[in-house]
Structure 1
């Protein structure tokens, strides 16, 4: 079970991925931009920080370490972090703008199909609230739902000369895709192990961040929620890669799912990638492997025929793909929480 909150406060700008391609509308490579850094990035930092341990201790850490995220929170209240809101909940801008998807006669329906969601994140402490009870931000103060606290921006970077710290005389500047977080916000990850508090290089461009580890107590509402068993319906709060190493599936290959295909409320798959191994100057490709798959996005809602009666920690290992010996559970793959879905058979009235 997760025992720590890893809280990351950027000291300046961070960087997202450069993106998949350029286009006239996307001159700085925003297409496919990815932020925040996923759980694999933090896992690598924890393992690298503990490399000086004895071999057996380091191997035990590598085997037992599990990290999930990324989430975000207000800097003063990291324990009430925000997770992706289930797709079954629609929260608009005005107080009366809300809606919920219901499963009626195996079809997803809602009352206000024209209402667009304005909020993408929900605080962990409000997870069990009914949708109409969710409070929107007021006068700059966060409540139960929130919007993404970071924005992408292009910034100019210099190309330095090979032999001195001066910008090249020709083509000396290039655009890079930077990310700026609100000053009062921070990134939050769940972890089984902690990092010593301090400043670290983190993310794609190794920018400096301040990291602190906060213990999750036995009586914490977070722990109680993570220990709650899942019944017929649940929502992902991190992307999920189900299936084998060679084939990604939309749900686990298990009799509890395949006998009656689960009802899903989801969006299009998203790329999911991480690197394993350690590179060297002579043979980087042989010692470093980049693994890419498609993942079911966070926020996806599942409804199964029979209650699972399991927590995420109890999910069978074979549900998760394994990347070159690394179970994807260690990267928080498919972390989910129980969610209430209105399920009804459609009643037809008889007319005499």
Structure 2
């Protein structure tokens, strides 16, 4: 399905969150962090560019544009990009551990000490490798960005205003490591150049190349059996309700999950702000009662919520097969 690897290199600070208003006596609050931008942001940019260039018929782009992400990569090795580590693998600086199923219940291999993961990402070429080997060959990493806060003592009336004339506005921007870039997947290419991208329209440099990583392409085409892990957030349910798995008769029952708390998900489509939902975070692991026997690209679009178009087109719930001990 995906043919192109699109990389985004921030020119300085990339992203500012919506911010939060603080009084002069209370400067400990922080506005909500939300980074990297979702794949829907790239989808919107592609539509905006095509509206000007008119290279692709509008109907074709609406029907056939699929994007996915966000991921990130070392600039010198973009094809071997980093994806979220499945939640059943715990990789800490001092040790590793792994969740397994015993008698239908989750159980840690090492019961003597409960570890908290220090690494959140692994290279795509290391998918399926045991946690101990992942750590030893340095195929894991933490977030390659850090947040930098700015306090604005005054804001123009045309921008944002506070009720208290002495109020302050806190903006959180993000600075990525110089040798890294964001990565997204797409069925259509984008002309390399400088663009405004993200919530605060910061300038970024975008490059595009063919997706050539054979291991990743093989994984994308490998049928999902009973176990899989999300590599992008998943939104299931309807416009009103959010669920942890698809609510359809032809989708097998989910008998076990490893996940974290849901994350807010909302995006703008066709100039309108979409309905707010909750998403299952990337890295979550599913165990099904019966095998699906089809890769994500062949999943029924009816399993995904729609808001003008299927959320499958913005990479909702992109997943890869994974092995879990105790599951046949």
Pair 1:33-2:33 in alignment: yes
Partner residue of 2:190?
195
- Distance of 1:26 and 1:108 partners within structure 2: 43
Instruction: Provide the TM-score with structure 1 as the length reference.
Output: 0.83
Partner residue of 2:3?
3
The Cα offsets for residues 127-186 of structure 1, whole Å up to 9 and x where unpaired, read as: 02122211357xxxxx310000111111245857689xxxxxx86974311111111110
Task: Give me the CA root mean square deviation.
Answer: 2.7
Partner residue of 1:304?
288
Q: Which moved more, 1:122-131 or 1:154-163?
A: 154-163
**Which structure has the larger Rg?**
1
User: Which structure 2 segments of 5+ residues have no match?
Assistant: 159-164
Cα distance change, pair 159–27 in 1 and its aligned pair in 2 (3 A) = closer
- Distance of 1:174 and 1:202 partners within structure 2: 22
The Cα offsets for residues 56-81 of structure 1, whole Å up to 9 and x where unpaired, read as: 80221122111111111111111111
Alignment of 1:258-273 (within 5 A): 260-273=253-266
Cα distance change, pair 25–185 in 1 and its aligned pair in 2 (3 A) = farther
Pair 1:61-2:55 in alignment: no
User: Which structure 1 segments of 5+ residues have no match?
Assistant: 138-142, 164-169, 279-287, 346-352
Instruction: Provide the TM-score with structure 2 as the length reference.
Output: 0.89
| Candidates 90, 107, 110, aligned match of 2:108 | 110
Alignment of 1:117-128 (within 5 A): 117-128=117-128
Pair 1:274-2:257 in alignment: no
Deviation of the 1:296 alpha carbon: 0.8
Deviation of the 1:22 alpha carbon: 6.1
8 Å contact kept, 2:22–2:170: no
8 Å contact kept, 1:22–1:31: no
Cα distance change, pair 331–25 in 1 and its aligned pair in 2 (3 A) = farther
Partner residue of 2:161?
none
Deviation of the 1:233 alpha carbon: 0.3
8 Å contact kept, 1:216–1:222: no
1:188 match: secondary structure = strand
The Cα offsets for residues 221-273 of structure 1, whole Å up to 9 and x where unpaired, read as: 22111111111100001111112222221111233556x44211111111111
8 Å contact kept, 1:16–1:35: no
- Distance of 1:23 and 1:99 partners within structure 2: 45
Alignment of 1:37-52 (within 5 A): 37-52=37-52
- Distance of 2:311 and 2:55 partners within structure 1: 23
Cα distance change, pair 154–322 in 1 and its aligned pair in 2 (3 A) = same
The Cα offsets for residues 329-350 of structure 1, whole Å up to 9 and x where unpaired, read as: 01100000000001169xxxxx
